[in-house]
Amino acid sequence: MDPVRPSISSGPRGPRLAVTTVLTGLLLTLSTPAALPLPDPVMPERGSAFMGIGVLAHDGSEAAAADAPTARITQTEGVDVSSYQRDVDWPTLWSGGARWAYTKASEGTYYTNPYFAQQYTGSYDTGMVRGAYHFATPDTSGGAAQADYFVDHGGGWSKDGKTLPGALDIEWNPYGDDCFGKSQSGMVTWIRDFLARYKARTGRNAVIYTATAWWTQCTGNYSGFGATNPLWIARYATTPGTLPAGWTSHTMWQYTSTGKTVGDHDRFNGTQAQLSSLATG
């Protein structure tokens, strides 16, 4: 099609008025930008997940935990770390009262923490009881396969009195659907497969880290693991709140993501002697 050309009217003022009208239209068009499509939400990079990544978004505000729970003689302070913290200042944490630590070892069957050696060994060398955790991604591979990957990449256990059983971090999916696309029964099966393989490989029952809201939503509040697996409850508040079905008490509690030195601080629900007993099995 030939381009539309502006007509120029006759008379002494005709050409000037026609050209002015065309230029005005062009300026109005350029000064009013067309609506642009909004960018898709930015998803975190695979491997970047950490304990509690979904707690603030789905389970209340950190403001509820502005006043950290008062330490008791029957509670022992701890921390959990991932690659986000890089090289950790363990002596400062020890001086601040932390006596145990968990380090992210792996995620799915595709990621290992590049800072694992400094974090896992550093806490041990400072005098802490230490353990490793695995961030579950049930949408990428089976529970048994992820348990194997975890054990093979730092999640094992040794009876040295200073190594805690591995922990399964099972919570909101930061990369997509909250429940990783699984039905409640499918999620329970996945968790069962992970726990069974971990125990077969290490002789220990893994700790389960979760939040009550997620557990209710994604497992139907399944009660079948409470008799065997210690519970690490995530709730940023002044109390652990209602626990998932099957557990009458918690073993650990992640109570804040804004602690000193590193953000995530936890309480072991017992004395340091009881913490050592958990480590030895």
Mean residue pLDDT of the chain comes to: 85
Chain segment 162-215, per-residue pLDDT in tens: 999 999 999 999 999 999 999 999 999 999 999 999 999 999 999 999 999 999
Catalytic residue ranges: 80, 169, 171
**3-state SS assignment for residue 21:** helix
Domain count, the chain: 1
- pLDDT value, residue 157: 97
Going by pLDDT thresholds of 50, 70 and 90, the confidence category of residue 39 is very low
User: Which pairing describes strands 129-135 and 76-81: parallel, antiparallel, or unpaired?
Assistant: unpaired
Chain segment 250-262, per-residue pLDDT in tens: 999 999 999 989 9
For residues 264 and 253, what is the distance between their CA atoms, to the nearest angstrom?
Answer: 10
Is 40 inside any structural domain? no
Is 193 inside any structural domain? yes
Q: pTM score, two decimals? A: 0.81
The 3-state DSSP composition of the chain as helix, strand, coil percent (nearest 5) reads 35, 15, 50
**Which segments within the chain are labelled E, that is strand?**
76-81, 100-107, 111-112, 129-135, 167-169, 207-210, 231-234, 252-256, 265-268
Is 37 inside any structural domain? no
Q: pLDDT: is 60 or 148 the higher one?
A: 148
Q: What is the CATH number of the domain that holds 162?
A: 3.20.20.80
Closest by CA position to 169, among listed 203, 146, 148? 146
Is 213 inside any structural domain? yes
- pLDDT value, residue 60: 61
Is 77 inside any structural domain? yes
